[in-house]
Amino acid sequence: MTLLTVEDLTIEFPRPGGRSGGTTRPVRGVTLTVEPGQTLGVVGETGCGKTLTGLAVLGLLPPAARARGSIRLDGRELLGAPPSQLRAVRGAEIAMVFQNPATAFDPVRPLRTQFERVIRRHRGGSREQAGARAAKLLAEVELHDTDRVLGSYPHQLSGGMLQRAMIALALSCEPRLIIADESTSALDVTVAQQVRRLLLRLQHAHGFGVLFVTHNLGEARDLCDRVAVLYAGEVVETGPVEEVFTAPAHPYTKALLAAVPTVDDDGAPLASLPGEVPADVLAVTGCVFANRCPQAEDLCRSTPPAAHTLPGGRSALCHFADPEVAA
Amino acid sequence: MIPDTPHIPDTVDVSSASDVLRVQDLVVTYGRHRAVDGVGFRIAPGESYAVVGESGCGKTTLARTVLGLLRPVAGEVALEGVRLDRARGRDLRALRRRVQIVFQNPFAALDPRMTVARLVDEPLRLAQPDLTAAGRAEAVSALLASVGLADRFLGRRPHELSGGQCQRVAIARALAMDPVLLVLDEPTSALDVSVQAQVLNLLADLRQRQGLAYLLISHDLGVVRRLADRIGVMHAGRLVEEGPAQQVLHAPSADYTRALIAAVPGRGRAALVGGAEAGAGAPAPGGGARADRAAGPAPALASASSAATAPASEPSAPSSTGSSQ
C-alpha cells in the first residue's frame, strides 16, 4: 500500500487588497505519492511550493493558510484531522528533519532532555529507558561519544553532529515517513555527503519512506527513487529519478538541468532561464511556464496544459511533453 | 592607474608590479588561532583565481585581508605592487578602491531605503567627484546596462527586485569604483539555479569585456570551474593545493582536494553508496553515461576515477613557499 498520498493539494493564503479574489495560491493541485521504503524528491526553486507541501503533510501550515485536497498516510486522511490526532502522528509516524539543525533544537536545553521528551511523549517509559534509547540512536548515526553529546547544548556541537543528532531524534519513534527539508543545505560539502550516506544506510536498515525537499538537483539524483519537479506551485514533471534527469520531458526540467554549472563544464555559456515566475500566477490564462518557455506556442498562452501520462511511470504538465519520451 | 593612486615609493615592489594581487606568507590570527597560516598566491591582470574550501578554512579571512579590512600579523599583501598591509589612512583608502567586493547575500548588502539609482550613484560620487549630476546619471545608466539592467529599474528599491537583480546592482556598485580586482565571496550561493546561471554568465562576460581580475571565494566546484583560471584549495588556514583549474579539478594531487571533488553530489545513488568514506575518486557509475550537459546536473566527474591514479603532471606546490624577491 502506498505510504503517503498527496492528492490535488491546493494551499491558499488570504491576501488583503490583492487581486484574484484576494488570495494567493502558492500550491495548486499537487499530487504526489511516496511508497514504503522509497524516497521521493520534491525539487524546485524558491517559491515553488515545495516547503509548504512538506509542512502540509505534517499539519504544520501557518494558521492563515487554507488547504484543500487530500493527504493520506496509509489511507488515513490527515488533512483536516483534529490537532490531537495530528500530534499523535507527528514525531511517531511522520518525523521531520529541518534544514538548520542549530535552530531546530531548543538552544537552552541539553540534547538529553530533548531526546527524553520526544521518546517519552510517544513511547512512555522511564527517563532511564529513554536515555538508553537515545544513546542507542546516537550510536546508529555514528555519534559514538554518546554521553558527551547528550550532555551538550546545541551550540556545543558542530553542524554535522547536530544534523546527525536531529536524524537520530527523528528516528526515535521508528517513523514510517521522514520529511527532510533541505536537510544537508546548511552543511559543508564533505559533511553533507556523509549525512546523505547516513540517510541511505538508515533507510536501508529501517525501511522508512522519505519525502526529500531540495533545490539541489545533484542531491536529489543521489538520494531519490523518484522526483517531482515543482514550478510556481505545480508539479510539472514526475518520474523515476534517472529517467527524469537523463531525458527530461518538461521544458522547465530541461532548462533547470542545463543551468547547473558542473565540474566537467566545457566553458560554454550556461543555458540560463530568461525571465521570472509570473507575479500573479492566478492571472495567467495558459501554462504558467509559457512566458519563459523556449517551446511555447499560442496554445500554451491560451490553455493551461493537463498532466500528460508518459511511459515508464512518468508524467509531464505540458502540451508538448517531449515526444521522444512519449514514444 | 587612477589619478589618486598613492605614491609611497618605499613600499613599491618592482618585481611583482605586473601582478594585480600578490599575497605572500600571509598569517592572520584571531587571538591564538591562526585563521590564515602562511598563504601565498598571485593574480595576474584579468586572471580569475578561486579559493575553495569549507567553513572555517580561512577563505573569508583571506578575502577580508585582501580588502584591507583585517591586518595580517605576518606576510605581505601587494596590490599592483603596492603594499596594502603597510598602507595607512588616505593611502589605504585609495588602495582599497582598487579592490571591490560582491557579497553572498545581495539583500543584506544593499541599503533597503535607497533606490537603485542612488545605490549606484553613491560609489560613483567617491570614484569621480568632479562629475556633474548629469554626467553621473549617464554613468549610472551605463553601469546598470553593463550588468544587464534597464533604466526602468532606476527608481526601484531592493525589496522590489529579485535576488538576481539585487546581485546585479551590487556588481554595478562595485564596478562604479573602477576596480582592478573584484573579490567575489560566494556570489551566487544565495541564488536559485536558473538565476545563478544568469549571474555566472554575466561575471564571465564582464571579465572578458573589462579585463577585471577576480578573487573568487566559493565552496561550489561547479561555480569555480565556470569562473576560475586557477584554483587554490584551502584547508585549516593553508593552501593544500594550487594549480590551473582543469588540473586541480581533474587531476588533484592533495587528498583533501579529492575528498572535496568526491563530495559533489549528482553522480547517482550507486556512487554515493559505493564511494569510499574518504571519497577519493569513487568511480562514476555507468561510465559517465552523460549525453550532453542538458542531460545531467552534476554529472559524473567522469575523470574522478582516473584522477585518483593519474600522476599529477605538475607537483603544484602551494606558492606560500614560492620565491621571494
Q: Of residues A82 and A275, which shows the higher confidence score?
A: A82
| Helix A111-123 / helix A159-171 crossing angle, nearest 10 deg | 10
Rounded to whole angstroms, the Cα distance separating A142 from A123 reads 23
Residue A142 lies in a domain: no
Contacting B residues, span 148-167, partner chain A, CB-CB under 8 Å: 162-163
CA atoms within 13 A on the CB side of A236: 31
What per-residue confidence (pLDDT) applies to B320? Answer: 40
Beta carbons of A62 and A246 less than 8 angstroms apart: no
| Helix B255-262 / helix A189-206 crossing angle, nearest 10 deg | 50
What per-residue confidence (pLDDT) applies to A134? Answer: 96
Interface test with A, best of B293, B305, B306 (most A CBs within 10 A): B293
What per-residue confidence (pLDDT) applies to B3? Answer: 46
pLDDT of B6 over the 50 cut: no
Q: How many residues does chain B have?
A: 325
| Domain interval for residue A215 | 4-93+173-326
B44 touches chain A (CB under 8 A): no
What per-residue confidence (pLDDT) applies to B284? Answer: 33
Rounded to whole angstroms, the Cα distance separating A222 from A299 reads 36
A84 touches chain B (CB under 8 A): no
* Chains A–B, number of C-beta pairs less than 8 Å apart: 155
Coil vs helix vs strand at B221: helix
Rounded to whole angstroms, the Cα distance separating B167 from B164 reads 5
Residue A80 lies in a domain: yes
Q: Which residues pair with A234 in a beta bridge?
A: A231
Contacting A residues, span 43-62, partner chain B, CB-CB under 8 Å: 45-46
Who among B226, B263, B271 is closest to A190 (CB)?
Answer: B263
Which residue of chain B is at minimal alpha-carbon distance from A292? B194
Give the C-alpha distances (Å, rounded to integers) separating B254 from B243, B249, B317.
11, 11, 10
Residue A105 lies in a domain: no
Number of domains in chain A: 1
Residue A141 lies in a domain: no
Who among A189, A215, A247 is closest to B263 (CB)?
Answer: A189
CA torsion angle B58 B61 B67 B70 (round to 10): -140
Model ipTM value:
0.84
The pLDDT tens digits for B50-97 are 999 998 899 999 999 999 999 999 999 999 999 999 999 999 988 999
Interface test with A, best of B194, B205, B261 (most A CBs within 10 A): B194
C-alpha cell of residue B6: 598613492
What per-residue confidence (pLDDT) applies to B318? Answer: 42
Helices (H), A16-110: 50-58, 83-89, 101-104
Give the C-alpha distances (Å, rounded to integers) separating A71 from A31, A204, A235, A309, B23.
9, 25, 16, 22, 58
Contacting B residues, span 205-234, partner chain A, CB-CB under 8 Å: 219-223, 225-226
Coil vs helix vs strand at A325: helix
Rounded to whole angstroms, the Cα distance separating B41 from B239 reads 9
The H-or-E segment that residue B256 falls in is helix B255-262
* Chain B nearest C-alpha distance from A290 (Å): 16
Which residues does chain B have within 8 Å of residue A264's beta carbon, measured at their own beta carbons?
A: 225, 290, 299-303
B299 touches chain A (CB under 8 A): yes
What per-residue confidence (pLDDT) applies to B18? Answer: 86
What per-residue confidence (pLDDT) applies to B261? Answer: 94
Task: Select from A324, A248, A261, A247 the least CA-distant residue to A289.
Answer: A248
What per-residue confidence (pLDDT) applies to A327? Answer: 43
Write the single-letter amino acid at B165: Q
Rounded to whole angstroms, the Cα distance separating A289 from B194 reads 13
B295 touches chain A (CB under 8 A): yes
Neighbours of B112 (CB within 10 A): 9
Contacting A residues, span 253-312, partner chain B, CB-CB under 8 Å: 254-273, 276
The pLDDT tens digits for A310-323 are 999 999 999 998 65
A223 touches chain B (CB under 8 A): yes
What per-residue confidence (pLDDT) applies to A13? Answer: 93
Section B268-275 average pLDDT = 78
pLDDT of B313 over the 50 cut: no
Beta carbons of A196 and A184 less than 8 angstroms apart: yes
* Chain A nearest C-alpha distance from B290 (Å): 7
CA atoms within 13 A on the CB side of B183: 22
The proportion of chain B whose per-residue pLDDT surpasses 70, expressed as a percent, equals: 79
* DSSP code at position A280: -
- Mark yes or no for CB contact B260/A190 under 8 Å: yes
Which residue of chain A is at minimal alpha-carbon distance from B160? A279
Rounded to whole angstroms, the Cα distance separating A85 from A93 reads 11
A227 touches chain B (CB under 8 A): no
pLDDT of B306 over the 80 cut: no
Q: Of residues B310 and A161, which shows the higher confidence score?
A: A161
Residue A36 lies in a domain: yes
Mean per-residue pLDDT of chain B: 82
C-alpha cell of residue A49: 511550493
The pLDDT tens digits for A68-104 are 999 999 999 999 999 999 999 998 999 999 888 888 9
The H-or-E segment that residue A68 falls in is strand A66-73
CATH number of the domain within which A291 lies: 3.40.50.300
Section B109-117 average pLDDT = 96
Helix and strand totals (H; E) in chain A? 13, 12
CA torsion angle A161 A165 B264 B48 (round to 10): -40
B124 touches chain A (CB under 8 A): no
Sole residue written with cell 572535496? B260
The pLDDT tens digits for B208-235 are 999 999 999 999 999 999 999 999 999 9
pLDDT of B189 over the 60 cut: yes
B293 touches chain A (CB under 8 A): yes
Contacting B residues, span 179-198, partner chain A, CB-CB under 8 Å: 192-198
The pLDDT tens digits for B243-255 are 999 999 999 999 9
Every domain of chain B and the residues it spans: 11-98+180-187+208-250, 107-178, 251-286+297-310
Section A270-289 average pLDDT = 88
What per-residue confidence (pLDDT) applies to A276? Answer: 83
- Mark yes or no for CB contact A259/B265 under 8 Å: no
CA atoms within 13 A on the CB side of B25: 9
Which residue of chain B is at minimal alpha-carbon distance from A224? B269
The pLDDT tens digits for B27-45 are 999 999 999 999 999 999 9
- Mark yes or no for CB contact B197/A254 under 8 Å: no
Q: Which CATH topology does B11-98+180-187+208-250 take? A: Rossmann fold (3.40.50)
Which residues does chain A have within 8 Å of residue B263's beta carbon, measured at their own beta carbons?
A: 189-190, 192-193
What per-residue confidence (pLDDT) applies to B9? Answer: 44
Sheet holding B33-43: strands in order across? B33-43, B21-30, B74-79, B82-83
Neighbours of B131 (CB within 10 A): 15
The pLDDT tens digits for B171-183 are 999 999 999 999 9
Rounded to whole angstroms, the Cα distance separating A26 from A288 reads 12
The pLDDT tens digits for A228-257 are 999 999 999 999 999 999 999 999 999 999
Give the distance, in angstroms, between the CA of residue A16 and the centroid of all CA atoms in the same chain: 29
DSSP string, A204-249: HHH--EEEEEES-HHHHHHH-SEEEEEETTEEEEEEEHHHHHHS--
- Mark yes or no for CB contact B198/A264 under 8 Å: no
B200 touches chain A (CB under 8 A): yes
pLDDT of B147 over the 90 cut: yes
What per-residue confidence (pLDDT) applies to A322? Answer: 65
- Phi and psi torsions of B149, nearest 5°: -115, 130
Write the single-letter amino acid at A186: A
Coil vs helix vs strand at A180: strand
Residue A239 lies in a domain: yes
